[in-house]
Amino acid sequence: MRRPAFIVIQLLLSIFATGMVQAESQKPNVLFVAIDDLNDWVGCFGGNPQVKTPNLDKLAAEGGLVMTNAYAPATVCCPSRSALLTGVHAHKTGVYGNKNNLKNAPKAKDLVTLPEYFSQHGYHALSMGKIFHKHPLPGDTGNKKSDAGQWAFDEYHKTLGGIGPASKKRPVNGLPNLPGEKVSYHYHAFDWGPTAENDETKMLDYRTASWAAEQLKTRDFDGKPFFMAIGISKPHLTWYVPQKYFDMYPLDEIVLPKTLATDLDDILDRNGKRIYSPSASWLRAEKYGKHKEAVQAYLATITFVDDCIGVLLDGLAGSKHADNTIVMLWGDHGWFLSEKQRYGKTQLWQESCRVPLMVKVPGVTPKNKQCMGLVNLIDMYPTLVELCGLPENSVNDGHSFAPLLRDPNMQWNHPTLTNGCLPGFYRVYDGRYSYISNRQRGAEELYDHRDDPMEWTNLIGNSEHDGIKSRLKAFVPKTDEPKSPENPD
Ligand SMILES: [Ca+2]
Ligand SMILES: [Ca+2]
């Protein structure tokens, strides 16, 4: 007769073995969350001390590692997203701008995108909201853009609904054009104001987040692991959100970002001519004294987005998938709020290159932790592939930062590359120095972030820094793929 202790040990061993088998067969799920045009104005990223983002901060408190040194592969939607979703940089695919559909780019059209790769390796890939940049297909007219990347998913859902601004007048913010300036007030315009109803649940992004929460709570995806990509479309312009979000940021308390009036004077082309001017939107806000209103509106829109993230993450937390789902949440590029005399993106300075990136790997990433490792969003593809035990995709340009997630204090400083919207326009950043090269214009910039985090003082003419420049320049691509075909106007 066996002794009771022996039976208990055998029982424990068999439970342990069963658990191991289940762990082998059940790969982790992925919740991949894109936020359009969100810069580092997130509480746990410290980009703006006034911003209210309790739900993103809660993600950090619950093990969402705060990657404080994350950079975009490009600084507008389409090239950034095309690069991070194919795993290949714009200078190799020719997808440099918003009009370059990667499906029309000879060097990109056959690349296996991240969701397709997961689908090919046993995952159920599903999506709602903006993940790929949208493009028109033949036959589309007006603003219709039928290619939203639906081809990359096993299951794709379009978000429907939303509410417009309270006022029918455009612009809602009443900001007049400058003399001679022609601006059409379409949905991308530099405009803001309260929505017709003070009800966030009717907003497009709220619906997307609610849909995702519902899928997480009610589905088991036929026993397959899932790759769920959820795209939040704000704080991309326009900043029309319910009044209650504006009320959270009283105008008289708004603190404006620090700027330098002469900042653009030291960026010169090969002929010594200044190459940058203030943007038209900045000039309008400057002339009519509307900087505080603009900052208030961006902050308000971020807090609305944060509420949507709360709905999404509460859905995950209340589901049976909570303990086996990796959350990777990112903004596609940064945004200027009057730094460098502009509103918007597209250039290669810190404010447009730096992005929020948070990664939660249940049981692995620590709570309330900032990680200083230097990463690029193009690294997300190989990182997820490694975390989920999929075979490496050899065409990926990025480096998997999975080791950094396991040990956030380790040294991790691959200099990071960001492409501009033209061939031959690059930024390389090594965690201290940023080097920007515009080959077409013959303009170069070098900044030391230890003393100059706002990149005010261009050191390129200072020969003391020639060694640093050469070192960073070695990471600039030697050749650039020409621009791929553009969508028709
Ligand atoms: Ca964007
Ligand atoms: Ca400057």
CA 21/CA 254 separation, integer angstroms: 55
Range of the domain at 191: 24-261+277-407
Q: What is the pLDDT of residues 462-479, one digit of tens each?
A: 999 999 999 999 999 999
Closest CA to 127 of 72, 69, 81: 81
pLDDT of amino acid 14? 43
Q: Is residue 270 domain-resident?
A: no
Residues 241 and 301: beta-carbon distance below 8 Å: yes
Residue 478 maps to a domain: no
190 alpha carbon – ligand 1 mean position (Å): 14
Convert the pLDDT of each residue in 23-62 to its tens digit. 445 899 999 999 999 999 999 999 999 999 999 999 999 9
268 CA from centroid of ligand 2 (Å): 10
CB atoms within 10 A of CB 487: 17
Report how many domains make up the chain. Answer: 1
In a domain, 378, yes or no: yes
Q: pLDDT value at position 143?
A: 86
Identify the pLDDT of residue 135: 97
Active site residues: 77, 133
Beta bridge partners of 467: none
Residue 344 zone, left/alpha/beta (φ > 0; ψ -120 to 50; rest): left
Residue 193 confidence (pLDDT): 97
The pLDDT value recorded for residue 338 is 97
Q: Please report the pLDDT score of residue 15 as a whole number.
A: 42
246 touches 300 (CB < 8 A): yes
How many angstroms does the Cα of residue 47 sit away from the middle of ligand 1? 18
Q: 95 lies in a domain? A: yes
User: Which listed ligand is nearest to 339 at the C-alpha?
Assistant: 2
Q: How far is the CA of 91 from the centre of ligand 1 (A)?
A: 19
Helical packing angle, 291-317 and 54-61, nearest 10°: 50
Q: Which ligand is nearest to the CA of 265?
A: 2
User: What confidence score (pLDDT) does residue 186 get?
Assistant: 59
Residue 326 within a domain: yes
| C-alpha of residue 447 to centroid of ligand 2, in Å | 9
DSSP β-bridge partners for residue 230: 33, 128
Rounded to the nearest angstrom, the distance between the alpha carbon of 264 and the centre of ligand 2 is 5
* Residue 70 falls inside a structural domain: yes
**CATH number for position 102:** 3.40.720.10
Residues near 2 by beta carbon (within 8 Å), at least 6 away in sequence: none
Q: Which ligand is nearest to the CA of 263?
A: 2
218 inside domain: yes
Residue at 303 is within a domain: yes
Give residue 1's pLDDT: 40
Low pLDDT (below 50) residues in the chain: 1-24
Task: Judge contact between 65 and 408, C-beta under 8 A.
Answer: yes
Please tell me the number of the ligand nearest to residue 455's CA.
2
Q: Is there a cis peptide before residue 171, judged by omega within 30 degrees of 0?
A: yes
